Amino acid sequence: MAEHIGIEDFLAKGKTFPVVDVRSPAEFDNGHIPGAINIPVFNNEERAVVGINYKKNGKEAAIMNGLEIVGPKLVAFVKQAKNIAPGKKILIHCWRGGMRSASMAWLFETAGFQVFLLEGGYKNYRKHTRSLFDKAEKLIVLGGYTGSGKTDVLKEMDKMGAQFLDLEGIGNHKGSAFGAIGQNPQPSSEQFENNLGEKISGLNLKETIWLEDESRQVGRCSIPDNLYARMRESILLKIIVPKKIREKRLVKEYGCFPKEPLERSILNIERRLGSLRTKQSLEALENNDLLRVAEITLEYYDKAYLHGNSKRDEERVFELQVDSDDPKKTARLVLEYSNSHF
C-alpha cells in the first residue's frame, strides 16, 4: 500500500528519491516541483477528451474512457520508472492527490516499487511554497539607479556570507527593457515562484535575506504577491553611484551584444522615452556611440526609479554613497553599513 506523506516529508525524500509528476505535459510545463520528472498518465489531448467525457457522461464513463487510453501504456510507464528509480523507491503526485497519482501508485507497487504519495498533490505543494515567503523573518532590499551594479554587489555579499535571494538570476532577466538580452528563456511565473521557493527553503529564515529592488515584474515573471508586499515594506538601502560611472557599466554590460536586440529594447520603451529621445538613441546606436545611448536611456530609468520608490515609507529608506564601480568594495561597505544601522 502506497504511503501518503505530508509536503515537508515529501520534499525531504525528494532529495534522495525521484519525484514523478503524473499530470499532463501542459500542466507540468506551466509549473512543477523543481527536479520532478514528468510521466503523464494522459497527454494534453487525452486529458481534454477524458474531461469532456466526464462533464457529458459522468464519472464512470470517464473512468472507462481513461482505462482504454492508459491500458496500452502500462508497460512503458513501468520501464520509465525502472530507469529513473533503480532502487525501486519513488515519490508520486498529481494535481490534488486523486485518481491519476493513485492509479500510477498501484501500477508501480504491482511492479515492486515502494511508493510515497503526496497528500493534497501539487496543489498542496503550491500552498506550501507560497507560505515560505511569509516565514522569512527579516528582508533587506538593496536599491539604486539602473547601472549601479546591484546584482554584482549582492553576489559579492553572498560570497561574504550574506543570504541573497537572486530574483533576476532565477527569472533569467535583468529587470529592465534590456533585461532579456543575453539571458536564457524565462520560466513561467508559476515555475519562477516554485524555483524561488526551492531557493528560499535552503536559506536560514531567521537570519537576514537580501533582495534586489525590483518592480513587480521581472520580465514576464511576476514576483509572488506576498513576497512583493514584504519587499515594499522592508528596509531599502540605496547605493548612490554617479551617473557617469553607471553609464560606463551599462556600456560594458551591453556593448558586447549585436545592435538588433539593443534597437528592439529601445523601441520597447519609445512611448515612455519620447519620440525625440528614441530617435537620438537609435542614431547613437547606429554610430556605435553606446555611451550616448546609456546617457539618454538612463534619463528615463532614473525618473522611473524615483517614481517607483516615491510611495515607500521614507523612514525605512537609507542611502549609501559609492564612488566607484567596485562590487567587492561596495559589498563590504553595504554590510558594514547594515550591521551598524539595522
Q: What is the DSSP string of 235-272?
A: EEEEEE--HHHHHHHHHHHHTTS-HHHHHHHHHHTHHH
In contact, 17 and 10? CB cutoff 8 Å: no
Q: Residue 285: what are its φ and ψ, rounded to 5°?
A: -65, -45
**Domain total for the chain?**
2
Other beta carbons within 10 Å of 287: 10
Same domain, yes or no: 28 and 155: no
Supply the CATH number for residue 30's domain: 3.40.250.10
User: In Å, what is the CA distance from 216 to each residue of 70, 222, 229, 266?
Assistant: 42, 6, 9, 21
In contact, 187 and 118? CB cutoff 8 Å: no
For residues 229-263, b (16+ Cβ closer than 10 Å) or e, as one string? ebbbebbbbbbebeeebbbbbbbebbeeeeeeebe
- In sequence order, the β-bridge partners of residue 211 are 141
Same domain, yes or no: 194 and 323: yes
The one catalytic residue in 94, 139, 140, 142 is 94
**Domain range enclosing 243:** 136-341
Supply the CATH number for residue 321's domain: 3.40.50
Domain boundary residue, one of 84, 107, 128: 128
pLDDT of 120 reads 97
pLDDT of 200 reads 97
Cα separation, 32 vs 129, in Å, equals 11
Residue 94 a catalytic site member: yes
Cα separation, 152 vs 143, in Å, equals 12
Place of cell 529592465: 176
pLDDT of 110 reads 94
Q: pLDDT tens per residue, the chain (342 residues)?
A: 889 999 999 999 999 999 999 999 999 999 999 999 999 999 888 787 777 877 888 777 677 776 777 777 899 999 999 999 999 999 999 999 888 999 999 999 999 999 999 999 999 999 999 999 999 999 999 999 999 999 999 999 999 999 999 999 999 999 888 889 999 999 999 999 999 999 999 999 999 999 999 999 999 999 999 999 999 999 999 999 999 999 999 999 998 999 999 999 999 989 888 999 999 999 999 999 999 999 999 988 898 888 888 889 899 999 999 999 999 999 999 999 999 999
pLDDT of 68 reads 77
Same domain, yes or no: 68 and 216: no
Dihedral class, residue 182 (left if φ above 0, else alpha if ψ from -120 to 50, else beta): left
